[in-house]
Amino acid sequence: MNETIRLAIETQFNTDISGTLPIEFENVAFDREGRSEWVRLTFLDGDAFNATMGNSKKIKAPGTLIATVFQLRNAGTKRAREVADIIADNFRNLRITSGTVKIEFGVPTLANGDRGDPVYWMENVALPFLAEDTKTDAT
């Protein structure tokens, strides 16, 4: 996935969700100290492929954005699931266009992502997408 695709998705997420919870972006400093809840974004890249034959540079790049909702342990699951539902509702079948990039999201999957962290409970929202870039290599 190229940086144009990543930036378009992160910008949309920030626009839709930033008022709900703080967002932890990949490889950006984020202080968890004293926070009771937040969302972490993780991109899982698929195998990009040429969308056309010949001289076209149209690339399609599938992937999944994982939005992990964190909340303090022993506080129940209601708030984490409410936030997960907000994220899923905002990205279900969403289409984004940004310059030469078009991104289509599919149907989200919600799953308990708890991994035994002693402080935080986690809920995962998997947001599958297919990005198309007509200008640059999407790998």
Exposed, middle or buried by CB within 10 Å (0-12, 13-18, 19+), for 22?
middle
Percent of the chain whose predicted confidence (pLDDT) is above 90? 63
Look at residue 135 in the predicted model and tell me its pLDDT.
67
Residue 78 belongs to a domain: yes
Residue 94 belongs to a domain: yes
Residue 55 belongs to a domain: yes
The vertex-79 CA angle with 27 and 103, nearest 5°, equals 50
pLDDT tens, residue by residue, 15-57:
998 787 899 999 999 998 889 999 999 999 999 888 877 776 7
Of these ranges, 16-20, 119-123, 126-130, the one predicted with the greatest mean pLDDT is 126-130
What CATH number is associated with residue 105? Answer: 3.30.2000.20
Q: Which domain holds residue 127?
A: 3-27+36-133
Look at residue 75 in the predicted model and tell me its pLDDT.
87
Residue 71 belongs to a domain: yes
Contact, 68 vs 39, CB < 8 A?
Answer: yes
Q: With 90 as the cut, is the pLDDT of residue 77 above it?
A: no
Look at residue 1 in the predicted model and tell me its pLDDT.
64
**Domain tally for the chain?**
1
Exposed, middle or buried by CB within 10 Å (0-12, 13-18, 19+), for 21?
buried
Residue 123 belongs to a domain: yes
Residue 127 belongs to a domain: yes
Look at residue 57 in the predicted model and tell me its pLDDT.
77
Residue 51 belongs to a domain: yes
Contact, 117 vs 132, CB < 8 A?
Answer: no
Residue 138 belongs to a domain: no
Q: With 50 as the cut, is the pLDDT of residue 138 above it?
A: no
